[in-house]
Amino acid sequence: MDDLAALRPTIFCSVPRLYNRIYAGITNAVSTSGALKERLFRAAYNSKRQAIMNGRNASPIWDKLVFNKIKEKLGGRVRILGSGASPLSPDVMDFLRVCFGCMLIEGYGMTETSCIITLMDVGDVLAGHVGSPHAACGEYPWFLSEVKLVDVPEMNYTSEDEPYPRGEICVRGPIVFQGYYKDEVQTREVFDDDGWFHTGDIGLWLPGGRLKIIDRKKNIFKLAQGEYIAPEKIENVYAKCKFVSQCFVYGDSFNSSLVAVVAVEPDVLRDWAASEGIQYEDLGQLCNDPRARNAVLAEMDDVGREAQLRGFEFAKAVTLVPEQFTLENGLLTPTFKIKRSQAKEYFAKAIANMYAELSTSEPAPSKL
């Protein structure tokens, strides 16, 4: 953030992980600024957001009173924010648009598709989608790549779904790669006989030809009672929790509930400990304090209820870790997605301990 304030970019592209941290930092600062300042911020935010949604210019007085100070966090000159790599929560998108007074454009793509598949149109104020199919240049003449949704009946996603058709996103056209290097087996797995590349992402079509990403076919797993879980969706919800810097949600078919490993926001957790009068020697000791775990889980539950997670999508236990997920410790991809198999192995002991605690806390079955 210090670099951004010094470099003062006009166009800034990043990933939801950073935008979620900016969102959490601002909301936490507002909530601790006092009742009067918080009411002023809420009034300014609601007024400016309504103006943006209606295509009007917001009153400049709100920028002078509230938002110009926030704009300086990114250098004060940003006019376009770009987001990719994973879905950005609609309320976070709206929040950043209001606070920084700029366009925020989200796109969707993959390495296998030479990056962009879809991109939001400039001036589109509807949040929660990744735009429409992007024009791609092949050999003359220019033409569009094709994007379609294919039914995934085992997950109950079909073209007949109401109110919008849903399915796996498939792409065909000049932007799509020819195959994985010296790996014909994996190449055949992702291409069908008609040349469509199957992305593994689940989407739905919104009015206006907009695509919305709602699930991930490849990372789906099933709990013991048969419920399908899309962990990335749940992690994106929990990322809005003020205590959460990063989150890894885990479950399997041998257990009936989810657990989570949370890399904490150190300053937020320390401030909470100070307010509670909790003594500790280092951040690791604070993360292991049951009171801290309970506070973080309670906050995650609040965020989950606000996002209308279903009952089985709530994490029932949490482990707090002071160490961030990074490329260096092998827990993140270059686009900052969690490497799930590595994370499962890395946190195997913590996962086992959480399930052991849950098994002892569950009520014993009644005797007949």
Q: What is the CATH number of the domain that holds 328?
A: 3.30.300.30
Look at the chain and report how many structural domains it folds into: 3
Question: Does residue 257 contact residue 251 with C-beta atoms inside 8 Å?
Answer: yes
209-265: per-residue pLDDT in tens? 999 988 777 777 888 887 888 898 899 899 989 999 999 999 988 898 999 999 999
**Confidence tier at 136 by pLDDT (50, 70, 90):** low
Strand extents, DSSP E, 217-273: 221-222, 228-229, 244-250, 258-264
Angle of helix 290-306 relative to helix 231-238, nearest 10 degrees?
110
Q: Which residue has the tokens 């994973």?
A: 86
Report the chain's C-alpha Rg in angstroms.
22
Are 212 and 242 found together in one domain?
no
Task: Decide if 279 is inside a domain.
Answer: yes
Are 155 and 229 found together in one domain?
no
Task: Decide if 179 is inside a domain.
Answer: yes
Residue at a domain's end among 187, 216, 245 = 216
Task: Decide if 366 is inside a domain.
Answer: no
306-319: per-residue pLDDT in tens? 999 999 999 999 99
Question: Does residue 72 contact residue 9 with C-beta atoms inside 8 Å?
Answer: no
Residue 142 pLDDT > 90, yes or no? no
Alpha-carbon separation of residue 151 from 39, 109, 167, 200, 213 (angstroms):
47, 20, 5, 12, 15
Task: Decide if 367 is inside a domain.
Answer: no
Are 312 and 228 found together in one domain?
yes
Are 184 and 249 found together in one domain?
no
**Given this model, what pLDDT does residue 140 score?**
41
Collapse the DSSP code of 108 into the 3-class scheme (helix H, G, I; strand E, B; otherwise coil) and give the result. strand
Determine the length of the chain. 368
List the structure tokens of 168.
């796996």
**How many Å apart are CA 211 and CA 129, to the nearest integer?**
6
Strand extents, DSSP E, 254-314: 258-264
Are 112 and 80 found together in one domain?
no
**Confidence tier at 364 by pLDDT (50, 70, 90):** very low
Count CB-CB contacts under 10 A for residue 314.
Answer: 19
Are 211 and 247 found together in one domain?
no
Are 88 and 162 found together in one domain?
no
Collapse the DSSP code of 350 into the 3-class scheme (helix H, G, I; strand E, B; otherwise coil) and give the result. helix
Q: What is the mean pLDDT of residues 180-203?
A: 94
- The phi and psi torsions of 109 (rounded to 5 degrees) equal -170, 180
**How many Å apart are CA 181 and CA 187, to the nearest integer?**
9
Collapse the DSSP code of 347 into the 3-class scheme (helix H, G, I; strand E, B; otherwise coil) and give the result. coil
Task: Decide if 73 is inside a domain.
Answer: yes
**How many Å apart are CA 236 and CA 263, to the nearest integer?**
14
CATH number, domain of 182, equals 2.30.38.10
Q: What is the mean pLDDT of residues 133-142?
A: 56
User: Range of 157's domain?
Assistant: 108-133+143-216
**How many Å apart are CA 26 and CA 19, to the nearest integer?**
11
253-278: per-residue pLDDT in tens? 889 899 999 999 999 999 999 999 99
Are 356 and 232 found together in one domain?
yes
Paired residues of 249 in beta bridges: 260
Residue 143 pLDDT > 80, yes or no? no
Residue 298 pLDDT > 70, yes or no? yes
Task: Decide if 9 is inside a domain.
Answer: yes
Q: Is the peptide bond before 163 cis (omega within 30 degrees of 0)?
A: yes
327-341: per-residue pLDDT in tens? 999 998 887 788 888
Of 257, 345, 337, residue with least CA distance to 297 = 257
Question: Does residue 314 contact residue 304 with C-beta atoms inside 8 Å?
Answer: yes
Are 189 and 163 found together in one domain?
yes
pTM of the predicted model, to two decimals? 0.72
Residue at a domain's end among 216, 248, 280 = 216
Task: Decide if 172 is inside a domain.
Answer: yes
**Given this model, what pLDDT does residue 366 score?**
38
Are 200 and 245 found together in one domain?
no
Are 67 and 127 found together in one domain?
no
Are 347 and 243 found together in one domain?
yes
Paired residues of 146 in beta bridges: 172
Task: Decide if 150 is inside a domain.
Answer: yes
